[in-house]
Structure 1
Amino acid sequence: MKKDLNDYIYELEKLINIANQNKDKYTFQDPAYEIMDEIEELSNSFDFVEPILLLIERSPDIDFGGPGPFGTFLEKFYRNGYEEMLIKSLQRGSKKYTIFLLERLCNDETNPNRKEYSSLLNSLKN
């Protein structure tokens, strides 16, 4: 049976819940890398960017890694729409991990929106 977007998100949510219960980030991170590899192989992998950001928003207490399976996946779409979706996520409600992802955007000195991202980052830290 072929999996769809909701199937993958459900699998990731289950891993997050297990990691929260066990207080062990690796029960999420290790298997999540495998799931994210599967998603990357899909022709519609960009469609997962926003649902993953929403999943992060719903799960602020988990250590997703640095950058971890989600960050590694999301950053593959850098300069292809990921940044705009990250900003929208931050506007809905910043989380420790989404702020971390924004910091990574600010580190790119060639990014034409770096000043805007840095300004947003400073406002979130205050």
Structure 2
Amino acid sequence: MNTALNSIFTTLAEAAEQSRAQGDKWIVIDCAYQHLDALRLHDYPQVLEQILALVETYPELDYGGPGPFGMLIEAQAIAAYEGALLASLARQPSCQVLGWLSRTMQLEDAERNALGLISRARFAQLLEDVQVHPSVPEGCVDFAQFCQEDDQPET
């Protein structure tokens, strides 16, 4: 793993710990913005892996919507990150990752199918799985329910 990248994520983990301790989301968000340009210089899959590991370690934190990490992630094609988001949610649900995945559901079904992305039925099942996950953080159940309601077809 890249030493410079590890150094950035050590700093981000310290900021996340401070955010948790002080109840101030802006500590980690501001830190992420400070490192955003440097993160863009690194190998995207490694950066994504580190972002998700950080969020899984501090799943209760708010990293912005979509926030600096979301901006970095969403600059790629959905197919480049959807699988990693799904795996992250299976390991440790978080509102943040669920929010990023939910944003991908804005694509029309035909486009989702053409790109080989998850179906609405798979997303609905994922939302159910998140709600019963043994380590789902407080508030994430409500957010998963909100996503279920938001993803219902309009009549």
**Shorter-chain TM-score range:** 0.7 to 0.9
Cα distance, 1:89 vs structure 2: 0.7
Cα distance, 1:45 vs structure 2: 3.2
CA distance in 1, matches of 2:6, 2:87: 21
Judged with a 3 Å threshold, the aligned counterparts in structure 2 of structure 1 residues 68 and 117 are, in CA distance, closer, same or farther, namely farther
C-alpha distance after superposition, 1:71-116 (max 9, x if no partner): 1111122335211111111111211111111111111223222425
CA distance in 2, matches of 1:91, 1:119: 14
- Moved beyond 6 Å, runs of 4+: none
Cα distance, 1:122 vs structure 2: 3.5
TM-score (normalizing by structure 1)? 0.84
TM-score (normalizing by structure 2)? 0.70
Moved more, 77-86 or 5-14: 77-86
Cα distance, 1:3 vs structure 2: 4.9
Map of 1:23 onto structure 2: 23
Tell me which amino acid in the other structure corresponds to 1:119: A
Tell me which amino acid in the other structure corresponds to 1:90: L
Unaligned stretches of 5+ in structure 1?
none
CA distance in 2, matches of 1:23, 1:52: 20
Tell me which amino acid in the other structure corresponds to 2:81: Y
Could you tell me the percent identity over the aligned residues?
Answer: 27
CA distance in 2, matches of 1:103, 1:80: 14
Tell me which amino acid in the other structure corresponds to 1:52: I
Tell me which amino acid in the other structure corresponds to 1:49: L
Map of 1:61 onto structure 2: 60
